Amino acid sequence: MTTIIDGNEIGDRIRADVGDCVGTLADAGVTPGLATVLMSDDGASETYVSMKRRACEEIGIESYHHEIDADAPADRLFDRVEELNEDPSVHGILVQMPVPDHVDARRILRSIDPMKDVDGFHPENVGRMVAGDARYKPCTPHGIQKLLAAADVDTEGKDAVVVGRSDIVGKPMANLLVQKAPGGNATTTVCHSRTTDLAAKTRAADIVIAAAGVPEMIDGSMLSEGVVVVDVGVNRVDADTEKGYELVGDVDFESAKQKASAITPVPGGVGPLTIAMLMYNTTKAAGLQSGVDVELP
Interval 275-287: pLDDT, tens: 999 999 999 999 9
* Residues known to be catalytic: 52, 96, 119
pLDDT tens digits, 243-284: 899 999 999 999 999 999 999 999 999 999 999 999 999 999
Euclidean distance between the first and final Cα of the chain, in Å? 30
Question: 224, 205 in Cβ contact below 8 A?
Answer: yes
pLDDT-based confidence at residue 5 (cuts at 50, 70, 90) = very high
Q: Kindly list the structural domains of the chain, giving each domain's residue range(s) and its CATH number in brackets, ordered by start.
A: 29-116 (3.40.50.10860), 139-272 (3.40.50.720)
Closest CA to 36 of 284, 279, 289: 279
Global pTM reads: 0.96
Helix (H) or strand (E) holding 34: strand 33-38
Let me know if 203 is exposed, middle or buried by CB neighbors in 10 A (0-12, 13-18, 19+): middle
The tens digit of pLDDT for each residue in 47-67 reads: 999 999 999 999 999 999 999
Q: Where are the alpha helices (DSSP H) in the chain?
A: 7-27, 43-59, 74-86, 105-111, 123-130, 139-150, 170-178, 198-203, 253-256, 271-290
What is the chain's mean pLDDT, rounded? 97
pLDDT of residue 42: 84
* CA–CA separation, 86 and 289 (whole Å): 12
Q: Which residue has the higher pLDDT, 241 or 118?
A: 118
Nearest to 142 by CA among 164, 109, 118: 118
